[in-house]
Structure 1
Amino acid sequence: MSINSAMLAGVSGLVANSSALAAISDNIANVNTVGYKRTTANFSSLVTSNSKASTYSAGGLKAITHKYVRQEGNHMGTSSNLDLAISGSGFFVTTSKSEGNLPTDQRLFTRAGAFVIDDLGYLRNDAGLYLQGWIADNLTGEIVTDPSDLSQLSTINVSGTGGTAEATTRVAISANLSNQQEVATWGEDPDGDGVYTEFYDDTLRNQMAEWKATNGASGLEPDFEINIPVSDSQGSQRNITMGFMRTGNPNEWVVEVYGDPSVIDDGDANVGKIAAGTITFNPDGTIQVGDGSLDGLFPAAPAAPTISIGASSDTAGPGAPTWRTNLGISAQDIQIDLFTAPGGLTQFSSLSEAQNISANGTPFGVLADVQIDKQGYVTAIYENGTIRRLAQVAIATFSNPDALISMNGNAYQVSQESGTYTLKAPGAGGAGEIDPSTLEASTVDLSTEFTGLITTQRAYSAASKIITTADEMLEQLLNIKR
């Protein structure tokens, strides 16, 4: 009966506009939700088959909700380094638990990038979802991105590294040795015949390292010393000294490198000696390369003059110094740059002095800040100035993101229509870049939603009028019998 179909069409209008009102309400409620995507209700007419050409049967309509996931919201700058937005296509890959994730566990995708560090050091957004990425190798710092292997993703943790330190590997010296330095007269000459009872011998205890170790009680006093601060593998500050003594040969100096005997074990001598040898200068005041210069002092000279200190666990002996056993630290090679540093080591007619001593390496420092750049690299910055790359944020893209299934927490999961995800590094293969200290605003426009409220209300009222009119007509039909 046409009147019944009209009433049913009115009911379908009420139901459809109720769905539209629900979508509008959701939009207005989430106008300030980070990364929220606007939902609309589109209407589709329903047509029923007519039993007779002269009779029309109303079909009504149905509402189909549609979420514009592909639409990108405006980006808003924030003061937090951990607030992230994606400039372009893609989604952050997240999980609902921080640890113990398996490849079969559910992954959720979101553009809500308001991340904070939880009590265990993991990056988590306001919905409690944990950010996934590729983790850097602890030893090399290398990050391998494998878009085809979900098992390579892990929850990003920024505080698990704790403090950090870097051992000194290179020292640059800018110093001058005075060519006016008198040749040392070592020891004593009791007979006055010019024959001294003690002479420099780096194989015996007649050496500068001994003078330093005994506070001048024995050994030979250097003509000049250069103190070099270095950091060991655990970030402790140590002091290495280079001692110089002029010899009777033209432009030649005896050189020793030594440290505190309580820190450096050189075997039986027990004076903290690390290396010994000679340096010869050219007539123009520069270091002579070859012809025996630097022999014994630096085995790798002149390309890369290097001193070596063995690990605490190694066995010390003549020519093989180690860190003391009680320190428990690693072996260390330190390149001493005497050639390419500004000025380098020279011998001119001026005072012996060190103009500049610079060394890399840092003492122990705790985590001070975490930053994330456009390529998604998560970098830890420590109080000692050390910078360490921890991870890279992964971006997932879809062939049809509008078909993703909405989940709690402004997140989405894969559907058959959306297609499976593809993992990419930020900015690669069509994936958007990361905007640090930025959040993506909701795509809701209040003026559009309030206009939709008015039209939906009117349409709902009109649909209700259909029902009341059909009811009145049915009542008139029932009154015919009277």
Structure 2
Amino acid sequence: MSLMGALNSAISSLYAQSQALSNVSSNLANSQTTAYKASSTSFTSLVAGTTSSSSGGVVASTRSSVSEQGLLVSSSSSTHLAIEGSGFFVVSSEVSGGQTYYTRNGEFEIDANGYLTNGGYYLLGWATDASGNPVAGTSEASLVPIDVDSVKSSVGATSNVTMQANLPADAAVGDSFDTTIEVYDSLGTTNTITVTWTKTDANTWEMSFADPTLAGGTAASGTVTSTPVTITFNSDGTLAVTDPSPAELTIAGWTTGAADSAIALNLGTLGAANGLTQYASGSTDPYIAIQSITQDGLAYGALTGVEIGADGSVTAFFDNGEQRVIYKIPVATFPNANGLTEMSNGIYARSSYSGNSTLHLAGTGGVGTINGGYLEASTTDTSTEFSRMLTAQQAYSAASQILSASNEMFQSLMQAVR
């Protein structure tokens, strides 16, 4: 190797170690950045010249570790997400028609328009039907920005009422007792119905219904069209039979304009004590003991929050007690994730080195699960980076000494020829 070759080697070393220090600096600067993937420096020897007079050198290149898993850290926000395993969230730069990108940074928040966003990028998902299944398939073309404000509560007419109660066996024939139930019409309006229980014979009761009224009102809001229900008990206090069987409550002429109602009355299993029973109250003033009355109707509700499940299901919660899956968040994988093009804000773009993305439901096909309420930490190891920094500094200093020595040797040569 000639003196000029030594200079070239030293210069290449200075450049390579500068690049290594730059990578160390970037990693340390992002040691607290969500889902940041630390990069490392790869060094390759370089030989220039002929076999008889060749000079050595070094070339440095940055090696990405995009596929490396970071630790999951708990977050106070239910819309913060972390992928445990392989894959990326799919985001868009625009609400409609924007470029598709990928990220592991799950610091998503609901913006003023109801979209889940992070740094100006919109989280994409598949809209789902009432059963939680994607309505337009699971292709990239069917992805849409997740908009929680666009999802409204559903309403439902009461179609089933389930009762658990004890009718007093020690009541006298002709004794009557009143209780109430709440039902919803098809428009989600709450109505109150008074139920009158009359003992008509030993072990026999009649269940009749007053016309419904709006909650807090007294005027009828509909007309009961079904006949009273006759209830007979066995000698052991269990339910024997109802007439009609099954028992039903029908209502027509809702003043709200709702559709007529047909409500099945679940009064318990015949021969069992899981619904209506007839046991002595043990009181000088017999009474009906209501254990529970449930119904399946729903009033209109306001959105109270969302949660994301391990399979990417976005579940909306409403103040009427309703909850349902409104979107599915996919996980994208690549043949070579380390070949993705890195951008700002933890965003990656496809490249010819990464290959095309494949979309999966979270937790299927070997891809990672989605953890709501967690964030992925940076993969930077500060102790490792400090070690690399010292190594780069020492190598850089050594290369600079070679430059100084070569310079002195050149000076000696120049003086010799003068």
Specify if TM > 0.5. Answer: yes
Deviation at 1:142, TM superposition (A): 2.5
Task: Give me the whole-angstrom Cα distance separating, in 1, the residues matched to 2:298 and 2:397.
Answer: 74
Compared CA separation, residues 357 and 89, structure 1 to 2 (3 A) = same
Give the match for residue 74 of structure 2. 77
Q: Which residue of structure 1 aligns with residue 360 of structure 2?
A: 424
Describe how 1:193-232 pairs up with structure 2 within 5 A: 223-232=176-185
Corresponding residue number in structure 1 for 2:275: 344
Quick check: 1:68 aligned with 2:69? no
Is residue 82–residue 106 contact of structure 2 (8 Å, CA) maintained in 1? yes
The 3 A distance-change label for structure 1 pair 46 and 347 is closer
2:167 is the counterpart of 1:176? yes
Letter in 1 for 2:254: W
Q: Which amino acid aligns with 1:392?
A: K
Residue 155 of structure 1: how far off its partner (Å): 1.7
Structure possessing the higher radius of gyration over alpha carbons:
1
Amino acid at match of 2:15: V
Distance 1:379 1:254 in 2: 40
Return closer, same or farther for 1:250/1:32 CA change in 2, 3 Å cut-off. Answer: closer
Alignment of 1:119 onto 2:112: yes
* Aligned-pair CA distance for 1:225: 3.4
Where does residue 467 of structure 1 map in the other structure?
A: 403
- Which of the residues 133, 141, 149 maps onto 2:139? 149
The whole-number CA distance in structure 2 between the counterparts of 1:253 and 1:406 is 75
1:395 aligns with 2:331: yes
* CA spacing shift, 1:230–1:357, aligned 2, 3 Å: farther
- Structure 1 residue corresponding to 2:85, chosen from 69, 72, 88: 88
Are the equivalent residues in 2 in contact too, given 1:246–1:254 (CA < 8 A)? no
Once residues 146 and 478 of structure 1 are traced to their aligned partners in structure 2, the CA distance between those partners, rounded to angstroms, is: 79
5+ residue gaps, structure 2: none
2:275 equivalent to 1:275:
no
- Once the two structures are superposed, residues 13-67 of structure 1 have per-residue CA deviations (whole angstroms, 9 ceiling, x without a partner) of 22211111111111010010010001111111111241x63xx231422111001
CA deviation string 1:343-380 (max 9, x = no partner): 53456676462523412334443222322222222222
The whole-number CA distance in structure 1 between the counterparts of 2:186 and 2:229 is 29
Pick aligned residue for 2:264 from 326, 335, 345: 335
CA distance, structure 1, for counterparts of residue 198 and residue 381 of structure 2: 81
Residue 314 of structure 2 is matched in structure 1 by 378
Counterpart in 1 of 2:288?
353
Q: How far apart, CA to CA, are the structure 2 residues paired with 1:465 and 1:147?
A: 64
Task: Look up the match of 1:453.
Answer: 389
Q: Does 1:27 align with 2:23?
A: no
| Partner residue of 1:135 out of 94, 117, 127 | 127
2:190 match: 237
The answer to whether the 8 A contact 1:226-1:354 is kept is no
Secondary structure of 1:275's aligned partner? coil
- CA distance, structure 1, for counterparts of residue 38 and residue 137 of structure 2: 30
Pair 1:40 & 2:30 matched: no
CA distance in 2, matches of 1:147, 1:14: 54
The one of 101, 106, 112 equivalent to 1:108 is 101
User: Could you say if the C-alpha distance between residues 380 and 479 of structure 1 is closer, same or farther in structure 2, counting changes exceeding 3 Å?
Assistant: same
Deviation track 1:432-462 (CA, whole Å, cap 9, x = no partner) reads 1122222111111111111211111222222
1-structure distance, mates of 2:337, 2:160? 52
For residues 470 and 403 of structure 1, the distance between their equivalents in structure 2, rounded to whole angstroms, comes to 40
Give the number of equivalent residue pairs.
405
Q: Distance in 2 between matches of 1:180 and 1:465?
A: 108
CA distance in 2: counterparts of 1:433 and 1:75, whole angstroms: 12
Letter in 1 for 2:249: I
Distance across 1 between alignment mates of 2:78 and 2:273: 38
Unmatched 5+ stretches in structure 1: 184-221, 266-271, 296-300, 310-320
Three-state SS of the structure 2 residue aligned to 1:159 is helix
Q: Distance in 2 between matches of 1:178 and 1:250?
A: 7
Aligned-partner residue type, residue 323 of structure 1? W
Do the aligned partners of residues 151 and 177 (structure 1) sit closer, same or farther apart at CA in structure 2, a change above 3 Å counting? farther
Structure-2 residue corresponding to 1:268: none
Tell me how large the CA RMSD over aligned residues is: 3.1
Deviations 1:221-242 (A, max 9, x none): x944332112334443211233
Mapped partners of 2:212, 2:24: distance in 1: 76
| 26-35 or 445-454, larger mean C-alpha shift | 445-454
Q: Is the 8 A contact 2:90 2:330 kept in 1?
A: yes
Give the letter for the 1:113 counterpart. Answer: G
